[in-house]
Every structure is written in structure tokens, then in C-alpha cells.
Structure 1
């Protein structure tokens, strides 16, 4: 029991860290991009990853964690895939309307469920599927404003969905199969993610914003917010790998939509952004969906522990750790439609 409680406590800490850091970086990036006129999301993400790697390198040298070697080919492909997914998400944000971009993010959950069902032979109960559907409905009502389609934007969105889903599934799978921690995997892969974005970021940002990141006027306050964003990003990147490793890609996506609802709420209370009855209704529906997802996952885990469910290819305990696992709860890079309104935030 003590071991289970310790695991659940670790999950709760990872979830809280992910939510707190992600909401913080969205607010910081919103101020940086909309108020201070620094719209270079992809390049900023490459800086986030470089700072994350440097921080982890110092931590490793101080023996805070052991550097466990991982097959270089696996790490390189994994890092490049994650970097490419961030680039596609940024391009999708640039070529699509707010509503279609939000639909892209919503599509990640059902596509992840599909991939895990087909390729990993995992099974999701009808109750869990219905709770996820309710969650997606709520987030859609709260955040989707329009659905303007265009061919190039649709292709980019499909590529973003596929690469993001595969990257997040691999984050979970690699940690379990190679028996490495989230810190070790992030430390090994961050340089490759940073490199692909450092090379592609400036041209992508110039194409989207018609501005050159290297000729921008870097005032002290802009530099201050960039440094703050990079420091928060260390926590965001670490917590993303931690949450996916301890739970599952689906749970991480559920958590991501909780962040979207929180960003909408914070935008209204702290930044006085427009907030309608539709936003409130959508957030309430999404919260009900998240609560049901947690409840059903908890019940299924208890039944498995008591031997009431067949051993078959069900979702493993860690893979169904609910969003509100420890007696309820009370991740690139580019988090909510609210930030899109104020110029493209960084998907970390």
C-alpha cells in the first residue's frame, strides 16, 4: 500500500507541476508576444530546449540523476520527431483559423486512442471513451470560434496530429521499455529537439511573421521575459516527460485541455480578456468530462488490483492513472486559443 501511495503522490506532483508551469509559461509568453511584440514562437521554443538541456547537464554533473546511455539512433529519431511536431503545430497555428487549430489539438486525443488500440493492443472502456468525448465537447464549446478550411493548413494539421501523437506515445513507451526515467530521456533527446528547431525556427518564424528574429530590438524587458520564459520552460519540458511517463499520452492530453480551460479563466480574471456564457458552459462541461475520466479510470484500476478484470491486453495501471488520481486532483510547443488571439504562443 505504501508503494502504491508513493506512486500516486508522485503522479499528483507531476500533474500539479505540469499544470502550474504550463499556465505560467502561457501567461509569460502572452505578455512577451502580444504586449512586447516578440512573435517568434518556434525560435523561442528552440531556446527553451537549449536552456533545458544546459540545466539538466549541470544537474547531471552535480549527480542529481544518473546519465543512463540510450541507443543513439533511438534518441536521435525521437528528438527529431518531437522537434518536427512542434514545427508542424506552429505552422498549423499560422496557416489555420483559431477554430481549426483548436480542432487540430482536440483531434490528438481520439487519434492517440486509435493508435494505442491498433498498434499497442490497449483497450479503453466505453465509459472512458464517453468521458473523453464529453471533455472534447466542452473544450470545443469553450475555445472554438470558427472553422475556416484551407488545403495547406489541413495538411499541416494532419502532420501535426500524427507527429505529436507518435512522439507522445514513444515518450511513454521508451521510458518503460528501456527502463529510463523522464529526466534521463529528456536529457538525451533535448539537444536533438533544440537543434532541429534552432535550424528551422528562424525561417519558419520569418515566413509566418514577416519579421527577422535576429534583427529584433532586444530591449532589457524583452530579454527579461525571454529568460523567464526559458526558465519556466525547464519545468514545462520536465513535467511533460514526467506526466507521460507516469500516466499515458491520453491522460497527458486530458491534462492539456484542463490547461486550456485554466488559461481561458486566468485570461478573464487577470488580463480581463473577453469571456462569454459559452466559455463558461464549455469549461463546466469539460470539467465534468475530466471528472468522469478520472472516476472511471480509478474504478478500473481498483478492479484490476482486486483481480476482477481479466489480465488480457488491458491498459496497464500506470497507463490509466487518472487525471485526478489521488483522491481527485484537488504537459511543442503553443498551448491555447486564448494565446493565439494575442499572437502565437510557444508550444513547449
Structure 2
């Protein structure tokens, strides 16, 4: 009976994650779109998310003391948290700006490039090796995305560039998280992650906001609705927390399946909620090809992770190292399926 309850709880977590993830992305698209709420300031919106999340995390840790802070030295903060926050802020900035130019459906199709970017960055950084089978999957994914882009009716080069830059920044963040934080032996839960990352990301976002958006914002024309702004930031915070709960409770394969479901749900819902977002047959064919490559790539990574875990069981001296590697693979796979924290505020 206990197993059934635990399984049910896992499915509830997954349902909440898929619902929140899809809802936040559609909410942000509606929020930023000139045809709907008309708040075309993606950096400002992201700063609101970061400021709200950081404030909540501060209250939970410093005032209510629900969660204990980790031991964070100045050296770790400067060498680890700051660069990770910089790429995190960049991925949010570029990813949210893309919603001004291209549809939600096409953005989800472009996100299939995440494994390609993560793999190439990992190889460059020395945390992964260039293998023929993985490289062929990268080619397959790239071909699928190219076909999908060719079939996009409302193709916009600027929006596509923004989204690709966001993907690259997110890949850099993931690899840096693996290289820097795990080498320091630092483990962050959802609240402590927001506590350290959100304020620093807010500062990094302030720089482009000052030069790109502050001078052009006309506050008299902004439709300020406290409930809409608050509910949007609250949904982003809830998604951040649910994401880490799902990652901690399920395996990489389960997260991958949930991510695929979320992508298809988003593509379908976006065409219903935003009539201007049309999908062609070539879009679907290209995305299906790319998705096949993503699934095969994730299978290879999960297989490698399981082999690493078996090795750790047979060689006790390497247990800590192998378990750290397995955790990093789970983190990477989580991001590929759309469950990374970078995706939470987009």
C-alpha cells in the first residue's frame, strides 16, 4: 500500500510540473505579446521573477528559518555562483526576448537543440568525450531542427538567434554547474539555489535592462495590474520548486518522458490559444526527426550513467566520484527535458 501511495505522489508531482511548466511559458507569452497583455519588456519581467524568488528564499531562510543556508565562502561565491548566475541571467534574457518575435511552438522545436549545445560545451570543457554514436545523434537533431525551421511560416531570424543564444547560455550554465559546484562538493536545494543565484542574476540582468529597456519604458502607458504581475511571479516560483521536487523524486528517463509530453502539450495548446501560431507539416516532420535524436541521446546518457553506477558499486574507492557523475547526468537530462531552472521563468 505504501508503494502505491508513493507512486501516486510521484505522478502528482509530474502532473504539477507539466501543468506549471506549460502554464508559465504560455502565461509569459501572453504577458509579453503586443496582441494581448502588451508588456514587451522581457528583461524587466525576468528581473521581477528573480527579485520575487530571491525575496521569498531570503524570508524562508533568514526570517522563517524553514531551510538552513549552506556553507558558502566568498571564494566559492565569486568563482562558482557568480559565473553560473551570469549565464543563467543570459539564458533567461535571450529566451524570454525570443517570445517577442517567434511562436511558442517554434521555440519548443528549437529547444531540441539543447542536447547539441550541452554536448559540444561539455566536450570543449573536457567533461565529456567526442564519440561517434553521440555525434551522429547531434547531426540528426540539427537536421531535424533545420527542416522544422524551413517549414516555419512566420520565421524570424532575430527571434531565432535570441533563442539559440539562450540555449547556448543555458548549456554553459549546466556545464559550469557540473564543473564548479560539484567539484567544490556544494549541493543546493531549490530554496538555497534561489537564495544564492536569484539576487546575483538580478544584478546581471540590471545591466542590459538599464541600457536596453529603462530608457524606452513609458510607465504611463504600462497596464499595471498587481494581481497579474504577482500571479506570474508566483507561478514561476512554484515551477522552480516543483522542478527540483520532480528531479529529486524521479529518474532521468521519467523526467525525459515528462519533458516530451510537456513539449507536445505546449505545441498543441499554443496553436489553440494563439491563433497566429500556425504549424505546418514540415514543422512536425522536422521536430519528430529532432526528437528521435534527442531520445536516442538521452538513452545513451542514461546507459552510461547506469554503467558508472555499477562501477561505483564494484569499486568502493570510486563511489563518491561516480555518484557525483551520475547526479550530474541526471541534472543534464533534466535540463534537456525542459526541467532546468532556466526554463522555469521563460
TM-score (norm 2): 0.67
Residues 302, 191 of structure 1: CA spacing in aligned structure 2 closer, same or farther, 3 A cutoff? Answer: closer
Residue 17 of structure 1 deviates from its aligned partner by: 6.0
Matched, 1:282 2:286: yes
Query: Which has the higher mean CA deviation after the structures are superposed, 134-143 or 223-232?
Result: 134-143
Residues 97, 185 of structure 1: CA spacing in aligned structure 2 closer, same or farther, 3 A cutoff? Answer: closer
Answer yes or no: is the 8 Å Cα contact 1:42–1:205 preserved in 2: yes
Residue from 312, 327, 330 that aligns with 1:318: 327
Residue 259 of structure 1 deviates from its aligned partner by: 5.1
In the other structure, the counterpart of 1:31 is 30
Residue from 177, 188, 213 that aligns with 1:205: 213
In the other structure, the counterpart of 1:47 is 48
In the other structure, the counterpart of 2:3 is none
Residues 288, 82 of structure 1: CA spacing in aligned structure 2 closer, same or farther, 3 A cutoff? Answer: closer
In the other structure, the counterpart of 2:271 is 268
Residue from 194, 206, 210 that aligns with 1:186: 194
In the other structure, the counterpart of 2:64 is 62
Answer yes or no: is the 8 Å Cα contact 2:140–2:290 preserved in 1: yes
In the other structure, the counterpart of 2:124 is 118
Residue 96 of structure 1 deviates from its aligned partner by: 9.8
Residues 95, 305 of structure 1: CA spacing in aligned structure 2 closer, same or farther, 3 A cutoff? Answer: closer
Deviations 1:313-336 (A, max 9, x none): 9993233349999xx99x396x7x
Superposition CA RMSD, Å = 5.0
Residues 239, 79 of structure 1: CA spacing in aligned structure 2 closer, same or farther, 3 A cutoff? Answer: farther
Q: Determine helix, strand or coil for the equivalent of 1:316.
A: helix
**Cα distance in 2 for residues equivalent to 1:261 and 1:108:** 16
In the other structure, the counterpart of 1:340 is none
Answer yes or no: is the 8 Å Cα contact 1:174–1:180 preserved in 2: no
Answer yes or no: is the 8 Å Cα contact 1:97–1:147 preserved in 2: no
TM-score (norm 1): 0.67
Matched, 1:76 2:82: yes
Unaligned runs of 5+ in 2: 1-5
**Cα distance in 2 for residues equivalent to 1:159 and 1:324:** 20
**Cα distance in 1 for residues equivalent to 2:133 and 2:15:** 25
Answer yes or no: is the 8 Å Cα contact 2:105–2:270 preserved in 1: no
In the other structure, the counterpart of 2:233 is 230
**Cα distance in 2 for residues equivalent to 1:297 and 1:285:** 19
Residues 217, 62 of structure 1: CA spacing in aligned structure 2 closer, same or farther, 3 A cutoff? Answer: same
Deviations 1:180-236 (A, max 9, x none): 2143233112111112324532542368xxx5153333354xx33222211111134
Residues 168, 230 of structure 1: CA spacing in aligned structure 2 closer, same or farther, 3 A cutoff? Answer: same
Residues 103, 295 of structure 1: CA spacing in aligned structure 2 closer, same or farther, 3 A cutoff? Answer: closer
Residues 101, 59 of structure 1: CA spacing in aligned structure 2 closer, same or farther, 3 A cutoff? Answer: same
Residues 282, 27 of structure 1: CA spacing in aligned structure 2 closer, same or farther, 3 A cutoff? Answer: same
Deviations 1:20-69 (A, max 9, x none): 43321111122222211111111000000011111212222433321113
